[in-house]
Amino acid sequence: ETGVTQTPRHLVMGMTNKKSLKCEQHLGHNAMYWYKQSAKKPLELMFVYSLEERVENNSVPSRFSPECPNSSHLFLHLHTLQPEDSALYLCASSRNKNTEAFFGQGTRLTVV
Amino acid sequence: DQQVKQNSPSLSVQEGRISILNCDYTNSMFDYFLWYKKYPAEGPTFLISISSIKDKNEDGRFTVFLNKSAKHLSLHIVPSQPGDSAVYFCAASGGTSYGKLTFGQGTILTVHP
């Protein structure tokens, strides 16, 4: 138990669906992140939020839309995804810059 | 352009012996380095970190060494245990990127009883 909880753990969606991934951290951290891990690739940073403000968008397509309503919650809204978007989506949080990030267990997303 | 590389996809070690996992980086702006361990169907778990002002950091059976001139870091696990079998990722951050971790591809460690 890392203190970062992601739901759902598994998600299958069609290309025309709209769904959301949820992340919650109970660590009092100031920064939250979305990472993507595709098969046989390193983890790739998607978005960084610091104190609820998006500080980085790593050239992610607009079909992925993050939302950070407060410092404990982070969402990733998904719409009109492609099959190549199937991957493990990981949420993480950290106290501040240059401290270790703690990861949730991830959401395994399959787009059909 | 991969800025963090783990050139060994896998490593097999006997229980009780030393496991040495290696990582190379190219970005001289990196000043903070981490190792994570990942089991199947779980998120990465933080193991140990080192900042660029140090060349060694130790935590129990885990020691990370940093060679800045060679842009190389390594993770030593002594003694290795079967429960250490997992995928190990090195990661780096630094410069102006706020908390942005750049990960290597991972090394699968198998510790045989």
B87-113 per-position pLDDT tens digit? 999 999 887 665 688 999 999 999 999
A16 touches A80 (CB < 8 A): yes
B47, with CB counted inside 10 A (0-12, 13-18, 19+), is buried
Q: Does B34 touch chain A (CB under 8 A)?
A: yes
Question: Which of A50, A100, A104 lies at the smallest CB-CB distance from B43?
Answer: A104
Q: Which two tokens stand for residue B57?
A: 């950091």
Range with the poorest average pLDDT among A96-105, B39-48, B75-84: A96-105
Helix (H, G, I), strand (E, B) or coil at A28: coil
Per residue in A29-55, pLDDT tens? 989 999 999 987 889 999 988 877 777
Q: Which residues of B touch A4 (CB under 8 A)?
A: 43
Per residue in A6-28, pLDDT tens? 999 999 999 989 999 999 999 99
